[in-house]
Amino acid sequence: MTAYHKPVLLDESVAALAIKSNGVYVDVTFGGGGHSRLILEQLGPNGRLIAFDQDPDAWRNAPEDPRLIPVKQNFKYLRNYLRLHGFPQVDGILADLGVSSHQLDVAERGFSIRFDGPLDMRMNQVGATDAAHILNTYTHGELARIFKMYGELAEAGKLAAEIVKRREITPFETTMQLRAVVTLVEKKGAKLLARVFQALRIEVNKELEVLEELLAQGLECLKPGGRFSVIAYHSLEDRLVKLFFRSGNLTGTIEKDFFGRDLSPIKPIVRKAIVPKADELEDNTRSRSAKLRIAEKL
């Protein structure tokens, strides 16, 4: 097995599923297989684990286990593939959102601010739109929108204007070219740079739209009493998960009946998000922004 990804909140996120030995579970972000392996350890011979990952690199880590059903697709197709494999409803769903350690550490994927590489950022490299295409073709307004919405940048308009000016001279191809422009906008730009990369990655992979699909389909595909365990890494994801787990919809509006009783089809198991403990933060600095939320279908 190659070192692909160090799981964050491993024990907590799997324990949240309250695994039954003969249950059916879904890991929608297989990655390095860390969460999946721990789930398999707790399943009996009749249990099943369906694992999704659209990144071909991830499947180099797949264990040979007859209880594991690999799905080499984006988890936005959750409902269809569960039905295809004969499990329209399952006992638990786990999602570890964000970028894997492998994707960050391989310069050619273009996710990391540390290395020079192509402006790619596609989770699935078969996808048509990469970060370079966005930087070279989006209008000033479109660029400013994604930097403000997905990167929460106060300097969104200024950065978009600088990108449009620079690409007229030389098209964007590498992460270092982008770094240079961000530094022009903000000399102490490390934090800004991370947010710029985040915004582009979210736009390339349509991450928030896909998360919305996962939450809605996941609730439909859970059995009553089934658990949803989701690890998010930035406020945009976490806000969506929090609202959905509270209300069963993406607006966070809790519907009530005539008598004022809560009609939400799902309930949070923990009031506040679970965050990594001090020893995990020290061992894995990439865990520092992780937040785990858990909910149960009613």
Measured CA to CA, the distance from residue 152 to residue 253 in angstroms comes to 24
Q: Find all residues with CB under 8 Å of 31, minimum gap 6, and list them.
A: 4, 5, 7, 53, 55, 58, 61, 96, 100, 102
Judge if 10-101+207-297 and 113-205 fold alike in CATH terms: no
Would you kindly state where each structural domain of the chain is located, as residue ranges?
Answer: 10-101+207-297, 113-205
Query: Residue 25, Cα to own-chain centre: how many angstroms?
Result: 18
Instruction: Look at residue 92 and give its three-state secondary structure.
Output: strand
Measured CA to CA, the distance from residue 250 to residue 269 in angstroms comes to 18
Residue 184 is encoded by which pair of tokens? 């022009």
Measured CA to CA, the distance from residue 204 to residue 265 in angstroms comes to 32
Q: Can you give the pLDDT at residue 65?
A: 97
Q: Can you give the pLDDT at residue 189?
A: 66
CATH H-level, domain 10-101+207-297: superfamily = Vaccinia Virus protein VP39 (3.40.50.150)
Q: Which of 25, 28, 27, 45 is nearest to 90 (CA)?
A: 25
Per-residue pLDDT tens digits of the chain, which is 298 residues long: 445 567 999 999 999 999 999 999 999 999 989 999 999 999 999 999 999 999 888 898 899 999 999 999 999 999 999 999 999 999 999 999 977 766 666 777 888 888 899 999 998 877 779 999 999 999 999 999 999 999 999 999 999 999 999 999 999 999 999 999 999 888 766 778 989 999 999 999 999 999 999 999 999 999 999 999 999 999 999 999 999 999 999 999 999 999 999 999 999 999 999 999 999 999 988 899 999 999 999 9
Instruction: Outline where 138-234 has alpha helix (H).
Output: 140-151, 156-167, 175-185, 190-205, 207-221
Q: Which residue has the tokens 């006992």?
A: 91
Q: Compute the Cα dihedral for 109, 176, 113, 129 and give only its sign.
A: negative
Strand 24-27, strand 90-96: pairing: parallel
Please name the fold of domain 113-205.
DNA polymerase; domain 1 (1.10.150)
Q: Can you give the pLDDT at residue 4?
A: 53
Q: Find all residues with CB under 8 Å of 23, minimum gap 6, and list them.
A: 43, 47, 48, 90, 91, 92
* 252: alpha, beta or left? (left if phi > 0; alpha if psi -120 to 50): left
Longest dimension (CA), the chain: 65
Q: Can you give the pLDDT at residue 102?
A: 63
- Amino acid in the structure at residue 249: N
Q: Is 48 exposed, middle or buried, given 0-12, 13-18 or 19+ CB atoms closer than 10 A? A: buried
